[in-house]
Amino acid sequence: MGGHSHWATIKRHKSAVDAKRGKIFTRIIRELTIAARSGGDPDGNPRLRLAIAKAKEANMPGDTMKKAIQRGTGELPGVTYEEFTLEGYGPGGTAVLMEITSDNRNRTVAEIRSLLTKNGGNMAEAGAVSWQFHKKGVLVVEKGKVEEDALLTIALEAGAEDVKVGDKAFEVLTSPQDFEAVKKALADAKIEYTLAELNFIPQNTIALEEKAAEQMLKLMEILDEHDDVQKVHANFDISDEVMEKVAAATA
């Protein structure tokens, strides 16, 4: 349970604030629109099915979902978004991978480069850091919601690759193909999860001490707030002890 999990925890704390700003809706609308390009029927479009589930979890109005999907299928006019990834380095030599949706690639690249440079990082060439990440399904289950043996049995039988045990939560990892099946298995077993999404997981992590950790978390926050950044991933690891110091220093 390294940097990814710490960041996931931070994102959950931010979710209420993000919802007020409409940030979550903006991201989900873009995802619905892009996913619907491959077809507007969720039964035959796993990506759209997942996007709709996220929209429902965020309490997005049905009419808003419908219009976003119709823009993707071409039934309604709308902005054309391009999907791409950007790569960079953060404080301490950490690798940063950003999933982008933008209607103006040149503008977005320039803005992200500027944000990295101003916050202890720099842009990298395509392929420079992406090889360090594998795309995985991730489900986070808080301890106390289920016994470890029960979670292991249900998750692994449904196709999960691994179940990592942390201090406060379990992290279930799946292949992208098996993500929905494992998610359904947990739901059927009435096991609540606090996070369920496809993410790029680093193969190795870099441990950060207090100053670099603080800079890294600030950079992640800034990138995450950019309208064109759908998701940001990094290979940092921050110990609980250092996290507590950073939290105290920034409180």
Cα–Cα distance list, 233 to 37, 91, 237 (Å): 25, 14, 12
Confidence class for position 244, pLDDT limits 50, 70, 90:
confident
In this predicted structure, what is the pLDDT of residue 65?
A: 95
Residue 29 CB: number of other CB atoms within 10 A?
A: 22
CA distances to 42, 56, 62, 189 from 75, rounded to whole Å, are 16, 22, 16, 38
Q: What is the pLDDT of residue 89?
A: 97
Q: What is the value of pTM for the model shown?
A: 0.79
More confident residue, 243 or 107: 107
Question: Is residue 78, in this structure, part of any structural domain at all?
Answer: no
Domain carrying residue 126: 83-130+205-234
Residues 109 and 213 in one domain: yes
99 and 212 in a single domain? The answer is yes
Tell whether the model's pLDDT for residue 161 goes beyond 70: yes
Answer yes or no: do 210 and 180 share one domain.
no
pLDDT surpassing 60 at residue 50: yes
Report if residue 11 sits inside a domain.
yes
Structure confidence at residue 13 as a pLDDT band (50, 70, 90): very low
**If you average pLDDT over residues 89-101, what whole number do you get?**
95
